[in-house]
Structure 1
C-alpha cells in the first residue's frame, strides 16, 4: 500500500497545479463510487462530496444531539461503516451512550459585590455573565470573600503556583484570562505568545474547584481572550450542557462568572488596588495571591435542568497482531440543529463543520480496509457527539475509554477540514505545533506531498484546546490536529487568507454553512491522505509516540505508561 500512497501523492501534486483532473463537482449523491476513476485522490474527492451532501442536507435537521436529527445521523453512520466491512467498535455495539444534562440559568440573576464603602449590583449581559455547571435547581454564593489569584494556575512542571500559601476554600477567586506567557510575550515563560491549556477559561474553573473555591470571576480582556465581550455574553445566554453527574461538587465550583474590564477596574479600585499593577505583578514569577480588602460576592442562580442520552459511534478494524492496541481517528458528527422562531433559514446544516470531517472517516476507513495486509494494530473510527456543547462526546470517551489508555497509541482528529475550500496548499498548519513526536510522522507524510509543516496562524487563541483531540490529550494520549493552511498553491497566501476569513465571517456557525456541489475539496483530500499515511505507519509499528518535554500532558502519559509492564 506504500507504493499506492506514493502514487496518490504524486498524482495529487501534479493535478494541484493544473486542476484539470480534480473536478470539484461530484457525481450525483448515491452514485457508485467504484465506477469513478481509480485514482485514490479522485476517489477521496468523490467520497467527501457524497457524504457531505448527505449529512448536511435539511433532512438531518442540523444534526443536534438528542433529536430526530441525531437518530437519522447515527443510523447513516452505522450503515456506511457496516458497508465498508468494519465491526461494531464498542465490544460488539456500534454505539457508546453519552449521558448529557442541560442547565439553563434564568437571566435575572444579579451579582452583588459588597465592601465597606463599595456596592455594585452587576446585571446579566453587559456587566457580567454568570452560570453554573452543577446540575441543581439552585446554586448560590452568599457573602463569599474575594481573592485575587492572578492567572489561577498551578503548574508544578513550570514551578508556578498562584494558589501557594493561601486558602481559598469557600471563597471566590478573581482570575485573569490566558497565561503569563501571552501577557509578557516572553518565549521562556510558559509558551510565550502561544496559549497553553493553563490559559483556557475552562482550566481556570477546574483548578479553582480543585482548590475548594466556591466561585470564580474571570476578568475579560479582548486581546488575551482572543474574542470580544459579545462572545462571552452570547455564550452565557445558552444552557450549559455537560456530562450527566450526580452533582459535580467535586469538580466544579458553585458559580462561574465573567466580568468586563471596566467592572474589574472598579472592583480593584474599591479594594484599594490598581488593576494594571496587579495584573502586571500576576505575570511575574513569585506572584502571591491576596484578598480583595473584605469585598464579598453574592448571587442566586435559578436553573432549569434536563437530561438526555446521545451517542458516540464506534467502528473498528481489528488489528492482525496486536488487536488490543489502537490508533483512533475522531470527528464530531453533531452541529447546532434548528433554531425555531428564526426568520428565514433556521437549519444549521454544518456542512464544513463538521460533515466534512465525518465524511473523511469513511474515506480513511475504506483505505484501511483496502490494504493488502490488515494493520497489526486496531484502528478505531470514532464519530463523537456534542462537540459543539463542549467536547462532551470525546470527553466521555476519554473518561470511559473502549481501549485502555496505555494501549492507545495516538489520536488524529478532523474538524472542519473543508473550511474555505482553499484547494491544494504548500503548507500543513499544525495546531499545537511542537507538542509531540506525532509531528515526525506528519513531516514524512507532508514531504511526500511536497509540503512543509508550519505553526498554526494564531497560536495565542488556544485552538488546540477547542476540538475533540483535546479530550484524548488531557488523559495523556498523544493527539494531532491539523487546521486549514491558507498557502494556496494556485492563488497565493493572501487569496487563501481571504477565503478562510470569508468562511469564518459569513458561514461559520451560521445556517449558510451549506453544501455546494462546486466546492473545491482537493485541500481536504490532501489532509485525508496525510492522516492515512500517518495512521497506517503507526498501526503497523511498535512505536508509542511521546509528548515533547514541557507539554502539560506529558506527565500524565508518562505515569500511565510507567505503570504497565514492558511491551514486546
Structure 2
C-alpha cells in the first residue's frame, strides 16, 4: 500500500487530469458514429460499479469454483442477464452451461519432512503438478541448473549418480543471463526429462533470487485446490515435483559446509560439481477428489440482419475467483469482478438499442479461468453457437489498472495477429488513447485468459487492458505493484479510491469494437505471416503451436 501523503497527492493529480479529459470529451469521440455515441452513453458507470461491488462482496465468498459462492455468483449473473433482456443460451433453455470438474485437495494426513523438520504446505512447499498419493523417503542431490548443453558449454550433471535420488534444481538463470533469456533456453531444452532419464525419482525446485517469479510467491499461488476436468484429474504424476519457498530452500544446505547463496553462485559456474546434501526428503501424500458441476453463464442478443444474425461476436469475462481458502475470502475484485461489471454494462447498453447490430452478440461469464481456462475451453469445445460462425471474441481480464486513474494507454493483447488490431487502434485513437504493444511479452499473457480458447478454434480475439500510465515502464510498474500486493490475494477488494470512469473507458472500447465487428460486411481475419495465419474458424489448433 502507498502512503497516505502519496494517495492525497495522486488524488489531486487525478482530479486535474480528469478535468482535462472531460474538457476534451467531445473531440475524443468526434470519430464515432451517432449510433456508437448513443451506445457509449448507455454504458453506465453505475452499472459497472454496482455489479463489480456486488460480485466482490463477501456474500459470494470469493466465487470459488465448485464452492457455494461460485454457484451463487453464476445464478446471480444469470439473473442480471435476464433483467437486461438477454436471451438464455445455456443448457435446456437456461443461462447456465454446466461442465463437470474435479477438485483435488491434500488431506490432513499429508506430511513432507526435510530431515526431521516438517514443511508447511503453502508456506514452505507446493506441488508443481497434480501428484499421486505416495510415501517415499529419498536422499537429495544438488544438480545446479541441471543443464547439459554443448551449445552453452555446460555439463551440470558431470558423472553424478542420480539413481533413486531427488534432484535439487535451481530455478532462475545463471549469472550473465536475464530471466527472459534463460526462459527461452529452458523452454527449448528442459532439464527435467534428462534428470528422470538419469534415474532421479523426484525434483525440488529452489529459487536463486534471479528467477522470473519469486518462490515464496509461487508456493503461495500454487498451494491451492486443484481443479481439473475429469480426464485430467486422473493424470497424476507418480514422482514428487515440488516447489520450495525461500526459507525451506535455505535449509537444504544446512550441514553441507556452504550457505544457499554460495551454492547458487557455484551453480552459475561452468565447472559446477553436483553435490549430495545432508538432509533427506520424506514425502507422505494423501488426497481427496470430489467431482461436481460448475457453470458458464451465457446469454445473447439476436442480430437484426436476416443473414448476418446467424453469425456472432462473443464477449467474455471470467467470474470465478479463488473463493474460500483457509478461512480467508479471496474476493477477486480487480481479477475479475470488474471485468464482469464492464462486460454486463456493455450488454445492457446493446439491449437498449432500438435497432440491434447486424450480427448477434453472445455474452459469456466463464468459470474456472483461474485453474487453466477450463470454462473458456469448455465453451470453445462445446460451443453454444455454431463455432464456424463466431466471427470474433473480445475478452476482459486484467489487474484492475483501469481503476488506477484515467486511461492513457491500452493494450489489445493479440492485436498483432489479426485485422482486429487495426480496428482496435482506430477506436483507441477516437478516445485519445494510445494503443500500446504488449509491455510484458515474457509473461505470455496472450495465452493466459479466456480469449485464447477461441484462438485455438481459429477465431480472432483480443483481450483489452487499460492503463493510466503513458509509458511501458509505467504500465509494468503498476502491474508489478498489483501483483506483489493484491494479485490472487484476499486484499484484492474494491477500494474507495478506485477511478470508475477508467472502467467505463474500457467498457466503451469493448462496446464500440463489438459494434463495429457486428456491423462490418466482412468478418475479422488472421493476418499473414504469423503462427495463426492458416487457422480457419472451427479448426483445432495443432499441438505445440
- TM-score with structure 2 length normalisation? 0.68
Please name the residue that 2:51 is paired with. Answer: 51
Pairwise CA distance, 1:308: 2.8
Tell me the secondary structure at the aligned position of residue 557 of structure 1. coil
Distance 1:41 1:379, change over 3 A: same
Given that 1:183 and 1:224 are in contact with CA atoms closer than 8 Å, whether structure 2 keeps it comes out as no
| Counterpart Cα distance in 2 of 1:97 and 1:336 | 19
Pairwise CA distance, 1:390: 3.9
Pairwise CA distance, 1:303: 1.3
| Counterpart Cα distance in 2 of 1:89 and 1:297 | 52
Given that 1:360 and 1:528 are in contact with CA atoms closer than 8 Å, whether structure 2 keeps it comes out as yes
Tell me the secondary structure at the aligned position of residue 79 of structure 1. helix
- 1:530-550 per-residue CA deviation (whole Å, 9 max, x = no partner) reads 112222222244324326745
Q: Which of the numbers 411, 418, 422 marks the counterpart of 1:429?
A: 411
Is the counterpart of residue 237 in structure 1 residue 215 in structure 2? no
Correspondence 1:256-267 to 2 at 5 A: 256-259=241-244
Is the counterpart of residue 545 in structure 1 residue 525 in structure 2? yes
- 1:394-413 per-residue CA deviation (whole Å, 9 max, x = no partner) reads 23334433345444333221
498-507 vs 360-369, greater mean Cα deviation: 498-507
Pairwise CA distance, 1:254: 5.5
Distance 1:474 1:434, change over 3 A: same
Pairwise CA distance, 1:230: 0.8
Tell me the secondary structure at the aligned position of residue 543 of structure 1. coil
Please name the residue that 1:6 is paired with. Answer: none
Correspondence 1:526-565 to 2 at 5 A: 526-539=505-518, 540-546=520-526, 549-551=529-531, 554=532, 557=535, 561=539
Given that 2:105 and 2:287 are in contact with CA atoms closer than 8 Å, whether structure 1 keeps it comes out as yes
Please name the residue that 2:29 is paired with. Answer: none
- 1:237-257 per-residue CA deviation (whole Å, 9 max, x = no partner) reads 3232222337533x9676443
Please name the residue that 2:502 is paired with. Answer: 523
Pairwise CA distance, 1:20: 8.0
Distance 1:474 1:205, change over 3 A: farther
Q: Which of the numbers 220, 225, 247 marks the counterpart of 2:212?
A: 225
Please name the residue that 1:96 is paired with. Answer: 97
| Counterpart Cα distance in 2 of 1:559 and 1:40 | 30
Given that 2:145 and 2:171 are in contact with CA atoms closer than 8 Å, whether structure 1 keeps it comes out as no
Pairwise CA distance, 1:79: 1.7
Please name the residue that 1:11 is paired with. Answer: none
Tell me the secondary structure at the aligned position of residue 90 of structure 2. coil
Tell me the secondary structure at the aligned position of residue 528 of structure 1. helix
Distance 1:93 1:175, change over 3 A: farther
Correspondence 1:104-253 to 2 at 5 A: 104=106, 108-110=110-112, 124=119, 129-131=125-127, 134=130, 138-139=133-134, 218=205, 220-226=207-213, 228-245=214-231, 247-249=233-235
Pairwise CA distance, 1:383: 0.5
Is the counterpart of residue 327 in structure 1 residue 313 in structure 2? yes
| Counterpart Cα distance in 1 of 2:401 and 2:84 | 27
| Counterpart Cα distance in 2 of 1:331 and 1:315 | 13
| Counterpart Cα distance in 1 of 2:330 and 2:80 | 23
Distance 1:370 1:458, change over 3 A: same
Structure 1 unaligned spans of 5+: 1-13, 23-36, 113-119, 153-169, 282-291, 564-568
Structure 2 unaligned spans of 5+: 1-16, 26-36, 148-163
Pairwise CA distance, 1:443: 0.6
Please name the residue that 2:460 is paired with. Answer: 478
Q: Which of the numbers 367, 390, 397 marks the counterpart of 2:379?
A: 397
Is the counterpart of residue 317 in structure 1 residue 301 in structure 2? yes
RMSD: 5.5
Is the counterpart of residue 17 in structure 1 residue 20 in structure 2? yes
| Counterpart Cα distance in 1 of 2:456 and 2:140 | 31
Tell me the secondary structure at the aligned position of residue 514 of structure 2. helix
Please name the residue that 1:84 is paired with. Answer: 84
| Counterpart Cα distance in 2 of 1:175 and 1:58 | 41
Tell me the secondary structure at the aligned position of residue 316 of structure 1. strand
Given that 1:63 and 1:337 are in contact with CA atoms closer than 8 Å, whether structure 2 keeps it comes out as yes
| Counterpart Cα distance in 2 of 1:407 and 1:381 | 15
Pairwise CA distance, 1:465: 3.8
Distance 1:175 1:464, change over 3 A: farther
| Counterpart Cα distance in 1 of 2:433 and 2:368 | 33
Given that 1:105 and 1:239 are in contact with CA atoms closer than 8 Å, whether structure 2 keeps it comes out as no
Is the counterpart of residue 305 in structure 1 residue 289 in structure 2? yes
Pairwise CA distance, 1:474: 4.6
Correspondence 1:291-302 to 2 at 5 A: 299-302=283-286
Tell me the secondary structure at the aligned position of residue 411 of structure 1. strand
Given that 1:478 and 1:547 are in contact with CA atoms closer than 8 Å, whether structure 2 keeps it comes out as no
| Counterpart Cα distance in 1 of 2:167 and 2:463 | 33
Given that 1:133 and 1:254 are in contact with CA atoms closer than 8 Å, whether structure 2 keeps it comes out as no
| Counterpart Cα distance in 2 of 1:146 and 1:407 | 55
Given that 1:66 and 1:310 are in contact with CA atoms closer than 8 Å, whether structure 2 keeps it comes out as yes
